[in-house]
Amino acid sequence: MKPRMNGSGERLSKNEMLKTAKRLLNYVVVPYKKQFLVVIVCILISALAGVASSLFLQVLIDDYIAPLIGMENPVFTGLLKAILLMALIYLTGTLATLFYNRIMVTIAQGVLKKIRDDMFIGMQKLPVKYFDTHTYGDIMSRYTNDTDSLRQMISQSIPQTFSSLITVISVFIAMLCTSIPLTVVVLVTVSIMLFIAKKVGGNSAKYFVEQQKDLGKVNGYIEEMMNGQKVVKVFCHEEESKKNFADINNELCQSATKANIFANILMPIMGNIGYLQYILIAIAGGALAISGKSGILALTVGGIASFLQLSRNFNNPISQISQQMNFIVMSLAGAKRIFNLMDEKPEADDGYVTLVNAEIDSNGEIKETDHHTGTWAWKHPHKNDGTVTYTKLNGDVKFFDVDFGYSDDKIVLHNIDIYARPGEKIALVGATGAGKTTITNLINRFYDLQDGKIRYDDININKIKKSDLRRSMGIVLQDTNLFTGTIMENIRYGRLDATDEEVYAAAKLANADGFIRMLPDGYNTLITGNGEGLSQGQRQLLSIARAAVADPPVMILDEATSSIDTRTEKIVQEGMDSLMRGRTVFVIAHRLSTIQNADVIMVLENGRIIERGNHEKLIAEKGKYYQLYTGAFELS
């Protein structure tokens, strides 16, 4: 078997390995205590039946064949009885194998499902920060490579190693009982075999790392060039590209050949040393039998026959264990990564203020209702006196002297003060990295502040339950993320109980209805691969529709129309403005034309607000905004 490479190829220390194994065992043993016990018993029976099979040869030859040779009327009833007994043992062994194989399937698959589900559920609770600091490939490999090697380990390696271990021990005892000198021969050859396996295996592993490196290079080059294939064509760069590829491909071929040579010769060497051992036993055994020694050197022909079988049954499990060990060590490293993901600290949420649908009666009193009214209220329970107060959701957002950094030593926002009154359109302008998106990320608490306070309808946002806080805002990001499913389902993602009519209305508002109806299956068109086949602009329109159907009190538009042509953008803008009339909107935009009608424009530079005011005011101030607007500065 080829050594498999896992994500990082890291090895665990013994201590970590034990800890991981113990935790894994908890997943396996605790919920399946009874089944696991049955499996152990069955493996034991199955292994012993195998040993009995080897020993039976001696009985057969020495007791039922040799004495009968030359007899006038040989009687076979004894043999028949022995064979029937063996048949019974074999049948038990076979049934035991069947049982434990099938039970192991249930255990392995059940454990894997549990681990998979636990991992995903755990992941949903992680803060956004986790996803910033871990690459997509890194997280993904835990669901693919690591889980897959875990599957092989639980369903194959563990039972196989266990069964091999039992076989080795019982065969060893049987060998000792049959002939001590021959056992010594076996031990010597087995140690030689293991020594060679270690040498060859070590070389193989070394070259595999090299091969893996070259393979990574080749695959990386392929990916880069396939992505730039059209540029290659435009520059007639095909020949150079072919030549470069041929070079790295040759390198890969060389390291792959070396790695495979060592992997390939291991099995035939191990197998044939087994044959050498087999023959040596026959010679040594023959010599012993012929010399007719007694005591521990005594040996019969049946004994030799038995021993020959036993020696095979000794070699096979040993080479299996040595192969499995390597694999188990690697799988444990994978299991460790899976557990690490599960152990990540979930997003903290001690908010207790919740968002409810509300009705305002004629007295101006706020009443909680269970249906969508278009009015929302914050339900604020007070712990000390047990009363509940309701505050109408207005979308009033205030930042008081907020400092923030993604890590403690690098502050990216300084002294931010923002007053967004209900119904206002607040625009954030600034270069990439100025902190615009960061501000919106703080409002919905993707990240927590270092210093300062944010109040939402005069409630500290730390008191609001995160899920309710987020439910109160719609957000449209520059990078659109659509999900596999129909267009209808994708828009409905904004509000799961939206009717078809509401979806159509949202699509019309986002100016997406037109192109959707032009698609062959209209709203039932299946979206795959984040909407491949749709233009970036169309994807943005869909994600705007998705936010519109949610009909949120507060909306954040982060470069939401950056890929839409100016004419369409204007239409969408008008639609959004009418939807959000009377509600608060935060807009981040590259094109200044889209934010001219904002109530407040804030210009950010290096994490500080350097200018604020409406368009006319800022133009009159002739500061940074004026320069941006007249094109003297570049936003990038």
Partner 1 sequence: MIKKLAKFIGQYKLDTLLTPLFVAAESVLEVLIPFKMADLIDLGIEAENINYVVKVGVILLCYAMLALACGALSGFFAARSSSGYAKNLREELYNKIQDYSFSNVDKFSTSSLVTRLTTDVSNVQNAFQMIIRIAVRAPIILITAMIMAFRVNHSLALVFVCVIPFLAVGLYFISTRAHPIFEKVFRTYDKLNNVVQENIRGIRVVKSFVREDHEIEKFENVSDSIYKNFSKAERLIAFNSPLMQLCVYTCILLISWFGAKMVVAGSLTTGQIMSMFTYVMQILMSLMMISMILVMLVISKASAERVIEVLDEESEIHNSANPVFDVKDGAVRFDNVNFSYAKDMNKLCLKNINLDIKSGETVGIIGGTGSAKSTLVQLIPRLYDVTDGAIYVGGVDVRDYDIETLRNNVAMVLQKNVLFSGTIKENLRWGDADATNEDIQRVCKLAQADDFIQNFPDKYDTFIEQGGANVSGGQRQRLCIARALLKKPKILILDDSTSAVDTKTDALLRKAFREEIPETTKFIIAQRISSVQDADKIIILDDGNISAVGTHDELLQTSDIYREVYYSQQKPVVAE
Q: How far is the CB of 8 from partner 1 (least distance, A)?
A: 18
Of 11-19, 20-28, 29-37, 305-313, the window that binds partner 1 (rule: CB under 8 A) is: 305-313
- The 3-class SS string of 344-379 reads CCCCCCCCCEEEEEEEECCCCCEEEECCCCCCEEEE
What's phi and psi for 10, nearest 5 deg?
-75, 155
Verify binding: residue 65, partner 1, rule CB under 8 A: yes
Q: How far is the CB of 233 from partner 1 (least distance, A)?
A: 7
The single-letter code of the amino acid at 349 is D
Give me the residue label for tokens 């600091």: 133
Site string for partner 1, 482-511 (x = CB under 8 A): xxx--------xx-x---------------
Verify binding: residue 446, partner 1, rule CB under 8 A: yes
CA distance 117 to 131: 18
Of 27-35, 72-80, 579-587, 599-607, the window that binds partner 1 (rule: CB under 8 A) is: 72-80
| Comparison of 249 and 322: residue with beta carbon closer to partner 1 | 249
Q: Which of 1, 131, 202, 577 binds partner 1 (CB under 8 A)?
A: 131
Of 5-13, 115-123, 165-173, 318-326, the window that binds partner 1 (rule: CB under 8 A) is: 115-123
Nearest 5°: CA angle at 206, between 204 and 207? 70
Q: Which of 10, 16, 117, 500 binds partner 1 (CB under 8 A)?
A: 117
Which positions from 522 through 541 interact with partner 1, judged by CB under 8 A? 529-530, 532, 535, 537-538
Q: Which of 21, 48, 261, 360 binds partner 1 (CB under 8 A)?
A: 261
Verify binding: residue 283, partner 1, rule CB under 8 A: yes
Q: Which of 9, 18, 173, 223 binds partner 1 (CB under 8 A)?
A: 223
Distant-in-sequence, close-in-space partners of 563: CB < 8 Å, separation ≥ 6: 535, 536, 537, 539, 540
Verify binding: residue 61, partner 1, rule CB under 8 A: yes
Of 252-260, 332-340, 366-374, 498-506, the window that binds partner 1 (rule: CB under 8 A) is: 252-260
Q: Which of 93, 430, 553, 607 binds partner 1 (CB under 8 A)?
A: 93
Backbone Cα Rg of the chain: 36
Question: How far apart are the two ends of the chain, measured CA to CA in Å?
Answer: 52
CB atoms within 10 A of CB 273: 19
The 8-class DSSP code of residue 67 comes to: G
CA distance 229 to 498: 43
CB atoms within 10 A of CB 117: 10
Q: Nearest-CA neighbor of 562 among 455, 636, 483, 461?
A: 636
Which positions from 582 through 611 interact with partner 1, judged by CB under 8 A? 593, 596
Q: In what order do the strands lie in the sheet with 410-420?
A: 410-420, 397-407, 451-456, 459-460
Distant-in-sequence, close-in-space partners of 266: CB < 8 Å, separation ≥ 6: 197, 200, 201, 204
Q: How far is the CB of 577 from partner 1 (least distance, A)?
A: 15
Which positions from 323 through 382 interact with partner 1, judged by CB under 8 A? none
Which positions from 414 through 433 interact with partner 1, judged by CB under 8 A? 432
| Comparison of 220 and 389: residue with beta carbon closer to partner 1 | 220
Which positions from 467 through 486 interact with partner 1, judged by CB under 8 A? 467, 470-471, 473-475, 477, 481-484
Which positions from 159 through 218 interact with partner 1, judged by CB under 8 A? 218
In angstroms, the Cα distances linking 371 to 375, 376, 494, 504, 582 are 10, 10, 17, 21, 21
CA distance 321 to 209: 23
Q: Of all helices (H) and strands (E), which one includes residue 604? A: strand 600-605
Q: Which of 11, 25, 26, 94 binds partner 1 (CB under 8 A)?
A: 94
Q: How far is the CB of 496 from partner 1 (least distance, A)?
A: 7
Of 7-15, 299-307, 318-326, 330-338, the window that binds partner 1 (rule: CB under 8 A) is: 299-307
Tokens of 563: 């890929």
Q: How far is the CB of 488 from partner 1 (least distance, A)?
A: 15
Which positions from 18 through 57 interact with partner 1, judged by CB under 8 A? 53, 56-57
Verify binding: residue 133, partner 1, rule CB under 8 A: no
Verify binding: residue 566, partner 1, rule CB under 8 A: yes
Q: How far is the CB of 396 from partner 1 (least distance, A)?
A: 20
Verify binding: residue 112, partner 1, rule CB under 8 A: yes
Q: How far is the CB of 366 from partner 1 (least distance, A)?
A: 23
Distant-in-sequence, close-in-space partners of 317: CB < 8 Å, separation ≥ 6: 163, 164, 165, 167, 168, 171
Verify binding: residue 267, partner 1, rule CB under 8 A: yes
Q: In what order do the strands lie in the sheet with 354-360?
A: 366-369, 354-360, 376-381, 388-392
Verify binding: residue 79, partner 1, rule CB under 8 A: yes
| Comparison of 300 and 326: residue with beta carbon closer to partner 1 | 300
Strands (E) located in 451-599? 451-456, 459-460, 473-476, 485-486, 526-527, 554-558, 584-588
Verify binding: residue 632, partner 1, rule CB under 8 A: yes
